[in-house]
Structure 1
Amino acid sequence: MTQAPARPAPRFALDRRSFLSASAALGAATAAGPARAQSGEAPAEIVVVNARITTMDPDRPEATALAARDGVFVAVGTEADVAPFRGAFTTVIDAGGRRLIPGLNDSHTHSIRGGVNYTYEVRWDDVDSLEEGLHRLREQVARTPEGQFVRVVGGFSEHQFKEKRLPTVAELNAIAPDTPILVHHLYKLTLINDAAIRYFGYDQPGHPTYPGGTIEKVDGDPTGRLLATPSGLLMYRTLVAAPKLSIDEQVNSSIQYMDELNALGITSVSDAGGGGMEFPDADAYAVTHWLHERGLMTVRTGYHTFPQIKGEEYDDYDRWTREWTPQQGDDMLKLVGGGENLSWASYDFEIFGEPIPDIDSDAEEIQHRIMTLLGERQWPFRQHITYGQTADRLLNVYEDVAAGAGLTEGWFIDHVETFTPAHLERIAALGGGINIQNRLQFQAEDFVEQHGMDELQRTPNFRAILDLGVPVGLGTDATRVASYNPWFALQWLSTGLSRGGMRMYGDDNLLDREEALRLMTVGSAWFTGDAGRKGAIVPGQMADFAILDRDVFAVTDAEIAKITADLTAVGGTVVHAKGAFAARDLRHVPPIAPDWSPVVDYSEMGRG
């Protein structure tokens, strides 16, 4: 059995400057108070006072102060309640009346892969015009060295641009006749300029081809448009074939990405694997384990295993279930189970502007065999299922396996956009969870064109899902589909706004802001096996929290997407702080690498 890495002792490394700052702070604290907490108990490591705390604890939904020790909350209530836990070495933070929430938990993302690519990619997540997007590409072309790509990989919608369109290949060629450019839009379309066509060899006889995608050509010449028809496998393979950062740069990129997530209030994620993520050998996994072994992770990560090659899924799961065990690892990094891909035969890509795709004719047979293996080996799993038509076929397999080998506790279905109440009730009857993401927020206008506004009104059917009483989590499906910014997802659930500004739902299918926040805190904890251990600010749970730069319950609908964290803590350790709290972050985040990275020159959504 493969052994999990030993839990690291120090969680975060300090450089000399941070050490001196810490020493000065501790010296001041020693002069200010006794070495023991006033109550005689061991003192807390961190105390926050003068906060407007949303606890997610139904018995005490609001508080003004908290204390944490040994990675968990030890007191929540008023300043008087936490006063006994103050000692000489306690970090005391006056929140200044700001809103404090549990750390956000993105229950469906691809952060391990996204991390190693973060500093390589131009992001358009928050760009409101194509003109600005092309300007960013033009500037990045000027600084990108020979042999490297300029790439935009997901996180945006053409509907967010005032021009309401994507760039043309001609525009990409005009910007960069010699530097390869790749613009990946959802799993619907990838645009590549002539330099990238030459790099991939798509203009040569015998070039690589992949099932499930089309390299568009006119009179035998590639147009620079890669189409998902009906799946995104061509996009996966093209991205894998592009240049990568060096391992050192991937380490730096992952640190920068975690810091950016922390700056948005994220403290935990559930990673769904993805294309190019060969488990456990992909560089991205090696980088993540290297960071974990050195105590450098600042986002708790539970991950699932994702088969890469059609026809080899059963063999992959047979090997993984022999060599690994669910929950192997620790609270900062652990294996959760299988998925989100159980088999390529069952995979229904979410291209909402196209007709609903059919899964393979033998999908049930293939899936039954894999699910039986997982049941026998007691592995929980997650599965990507987008459409009710796919659920019509696959839920029969679920029910059959449940009656035989069994479904291991902790299994769930991701996405469920067009599931009917009947489909949802079948999941509930089997004891599964439902994990929703804001993918449709980026494609609402396409969906309406293909399926109509009436159908959109219940896609997904939030109220029917919540009424089931099953575990429900909220994620983003970042970074190649949706944005990693969790506040887009929270805005979507509570306002129904698409990224293009379309009102997607009536009031009867919206959640209030606290309900939405609950899904991304308490709700999402279940999806990594951590229900009752994190997600709420109550004594005994993991001390993960964020002090926001503006009050999520007071801002306008439009401002929700602009929220960031002034301070974020994981296990009671400050991992991000800015503004009035900047001196509280004692970590050393290295300079961005490579030095030609687009992240150097463009403001990020969290770190600004």
Structure 2
Amino acid sequence: MELRWEGEPSLSTALEKLRIQAQVTPPPQWVRIVGGWSEFQFSERRMPTIQEINAAAPETPVFILHLYGRAMLNRAALQVLGITSKTSNPPGGVIERDSAGQPTGMLIAKPSALILYSTLAQGPALSKEHQYNSSRQFMRELNRLGVTSVIDAGGGGQQFPDDYDVINQLHANNELTVRIAYNLFAQKKGEELNDYQNWVEYLNYGDGDDMLRLNGAGENLAWSAADFENFLEPRPDLPVIMESELEDIVSLLVSKRWPFRIHATYDETISRFLNVFEKVDRETPFNGLRFIIDHAETISEHNIARVKALGGGIAVQHRMAFQGEYFIDRYGKDAAKQTPPISKMLEMGVPVGAGTDATRVASYNPWVALYWMVSGNTIGHTQLYDEANLLDRETALYLWTKGSSWFSGEEEVKGSIAPEAYADFAVLSDDFFKMEEAQIPSINSVMTVVGGSIVHGSGDFSSFNPPLPPAMPDWSPVNQFNLPSSGTSKNERPRQFSTHSCCDSACSVHGHNHVIAWQTPLPIDDKSKSAFWGAIGCSCFSI
């Protein structure tokens, strides 16, 4: 139900998409533009004005999220939400007002993004039927990009178990097309410990199966530990109560052998978290229990070493690709050169995995993230890193495959070509290792396989694309526009095999063009012929 501005080259075309979508979106629904864009991607290199948004959508409510710092509402949305000159600012947020005291439509996180996310949550929800359809559409979009597995680090507003009904139903109906390892995220301030005490009593780490399984706790363990990643504002200082609240929760999780992850942007925050973890470890040893520092943009060498000593890992995402310009404005170019210090993390031997942190701010497209890792550029083409913090393509892809498998405890079955590993792979539209760097974001998959079954096919493999119902509701932006993350690939023919995105060697039997074998008349059952592990299955193993 979201309109995406990912990849839009100009503000004028983005606003035209908004105008078209507003005309087909029926009351009481909103047009939502949530994540995947930055004004620096536009040729105009500026934000839309409230006046431009009102002109594009004079009657349909519009919510536009800008990074972690701002949201823009048009006049119709202000009216629906009842935001007036008398509306008070919420804690940690500001409603911008004009000289007459009237709200302009700009909401500002100072520094808390809760004002943004709580406003977004007030929009009309889709019916369960439409949520089910929408989830299938999004998984297919991920498959189109070559994604076969995801780790869900939780998110604000996602109540367990109620908000997991749709994904559980998809799983029960055998309609999941990506493997999901999910973490449980404490939702209500002041009740985080109660939530985890309740969950650990009736849930165990690893509950589920290889398609849908519980991956532990996080990324929010305690609201007092939230260091908001808003580079438009100064670094927040966490309250003094944070340590005691976090200690109680981490002690519980360690005693119950629940892996956990925690959101941490700044080194100052990470220092305080590690103080708590080391104290807990002295009383209840971690003993190999996996824990994860999420993001870690400004982590120091000293704290990388402390994470490693405790047996933890660091999950990095391409948030700097979207707000690197703002980081430079506040902290300077030199500080940005090691934000995050991925090369140093690898040099020091700590487990590192790569992801997107999608979809509220960053793009869900893995190839945009991979472009950032190897080029050091933001999506606005600002150079962030020098050679010391750039990754070669093989290393970057490793972090997206084998590297990330550690973070769901699935190193034995994901991220490598090996016996007993999952039969998950993608045939890519271009050769990631040889193509021009600037074209990397345009990569997509022409065939994606999960568990030996084809879940997406295009180009030469279109005949194998499984049927998918039309997007619902009929006014969905998916029905109005091309897929947002698609780019014009220079070569639509399959050239590269990928485990969750890659494979280093060609199949000696089929040359990785299995369609030739599948379409050859042979005296075997058709179902067995087309199955990856069937009578003419490939000798390649992948995640």
Provide the TM-score with structure 2 as the length reference.
0.87
Q: 1:327 to 1:499 in 2, by over 3 A?
A: same
Q: What is the CA distance between 1:539 and its match in structure 2?
A: 1.8
The one of the two structures with greater contact order (alpha-carbon pairs below 8 A, sep at least 6) is: 1
Residue aligning to 1:222: 103
Q: Does the CA-based 8 Å contact 1:264-1:605 persist in structure 2?
A: no
Q: What is the CA distance between 1:213 and its match in structure 2?
A: 1.7
Residue aligning to 1:324: 203
Residue aligning to 1:567: 447
Aligned with 1:179: secondary structure?
coil
Residue aligning to 1:151: 32
Given residue 181 of structure 1, which amino acid in structure 2 is its aligned partner?
V
Q: What is the CA distance between 1:174 and its match in structure 2?
A: 1.4
Q: Does the CA-based 8 Å contact 2:62-2:76 persist in structure 1?
A: yes
Aligned with 1:568: secondary structure?
strand
Aligned with 2:121: secondary structure?
helix
Q: Does the CA-based 8 Å contact 1:564-1:606 persist in structure 2?
A: no
Please show how residues 113-512 of structure 1 align to structure 2 within 5 Å: 120-203=1-84, 205=86, 210-218=90-98, 219-282=100-163, 285-407=164-286, 409-512=289-392
Aligned with 2:162: secondary structure?
coil
Q: What is the CA distance between 1:162 and its match in structure 2?
A: 1.1
The CA distance in 2 between the partners of 1:602 and 1:391, in whole Å, is 42
Aligned with 2:134: secondary structure?
helix
The CA distance in 1 between the partners of 2:89 and 2:181, in whole Å, is 34
The CA distance in 1 between the partners of 2:224 and 2:92, in whole Å, is 11
Unaligned runs of 5+ in 1: 1-119
The CA distance in 2 between the partners of 1:217 and 1:361, in whole Å, is 33
The CA distance in 2 between the partners of 1:455 and 1:520, in whole Å, is 25
Given residue 132 of structure 1, which amino acid in structure 2 is its aligned partner?
T
Given residue 189 of structure 1, which amino acid in structure 2 is its aligned partner?
R
Residue aligning to 2:422: 542
The CA distance in 1 between the partners of 2:171 and 2:471, in whole Å, is 20
Deviations 1:172-226 (A, max 9, x none): 1112222101101122100001110111111174x58643222223343211111
The CA distance in 1 between the partners of 2:439 and 2:64, in whole Å, is 28
Q: What is the CA distance between 1:360 and its match in structure 2?
A: 1.5
Match of 1:514 among 377, 388, 394: 394
Given residue 184 of structure 2, which amino acid in structure 1 is its aligned partner?
T
Unaligned runs of 5+ in 2: 488-543
Q: 1:607 to 1:225 in 2, by over 3 A?
A: closer
The CA distance in 2 between the partners of 1:204 and 1:316, in whole Å, is 37
What RMSD, in angstroms, separates the aligned Cα atoms of the two structures? 1.3
Q: Does the CA-based 8 Å contact 1:271-1:303 persist in structure 2?
A: yes
Q: Does the CA-based 8 Å contact 2:442-2:486 persist in structure 1?
A: no
Q: Does the CA-based 8 Å contact 1:340-1:384 persist in structure 2?
A: yes
The CA distance in 1 between the partners of 2:470 and 2:347, in whole Å, is 48
The CA distance in 1 between the partners of 2:33 and 2:486, in whole Å, is 19
The CA distance in 1 between the partners of 2:85 and 2:2, in whole Å, is 27
Given residue 228 of structure 2, which amino acid in structure 1 is its aligned partner?
F
Q: Does the CA-based 8 Å contact 2:85-2:102 persist in structure 1?
A: no
Q: What is the CA distance between 1:361 and its match in structure 2?
A: 2.0
Residue aligning to 2:481: 602
Q: What is the CA distance between 1:273 and its match in structure 2?
A: 1.0
The CA distance in 1 between the partners of 2:136 and 2:29, in whole Å, is 21
Given residue 537 of structure 1, which amino acid in structure 2 is its aligned partner?
I
The CA distance in 1 between the partners of 2:357 and 2:74, in whole Å, is 27
Given residue 275 of structure 1, which amino acid in structure 2 is its aligned partner?
G
The CA distance in 2 between the partners of 1:465 and 1:605, in whole Å, is 33
Q: What is the CA distance between 1:128 and its match in structure 2?
A: 1.5
Q: Does the CA-based 8 Å contact 1:185-1:481 persist in structure 2?
A: yes
The CA distance in 1 between the partners of 2:160 and 2:46, in whole Å, is 37
Count of equivalent residues: 485
Q: Does the CA-based 8 Å contact 1:388-1:416 persist in structure 2?
A: yes
The CA distance in 2 between the partners of 1:409 and 1:392, in whole Å, is 19
The CA distance in 2 between the partners of 1:443 and 1:174, in whole Å, is 27
Aligned with 2:280: secondary structure?
helix
Deviations 1:524-583 (A, max 9, x none): 111111012111122210011010001001111110010000100001111101011111
Q: Does the CA-based 8 Å contact 2:317-2:369 persist in structure 1?
A: yes
The CA distance in 1 between the partners of 2:242 and 2:285, in whole Å, is 19
Q: 1:436 to 1:445 in 2, by over 3 A?
A: same
Aligned with 1:287: secondary structure?
helix
Deviations 1:59-99 (A, max 9, x none): xxxxxxxxxxxxxxxxxxxxxxxxxxxxxxxxxxxxxxxxx
The CA distance in 2 between the partners of 1:605 and 1:594, in whole Å, is 18
Aligned with 1:182: secondary structure?
strand
Provide the TM-score with structure 1 as the length reference.
0.78
Q: Does the CA-based 8 Å contact 1:372-1:406 persist in structure 2?
A: no
Given residue 431 of structure 2, which amino acid in structure 1 is its aligned partner?
D
Identity value in percent: 47
The CA distance in 2 between the partners of 1:128 and 1:306, in whole Å, is 36
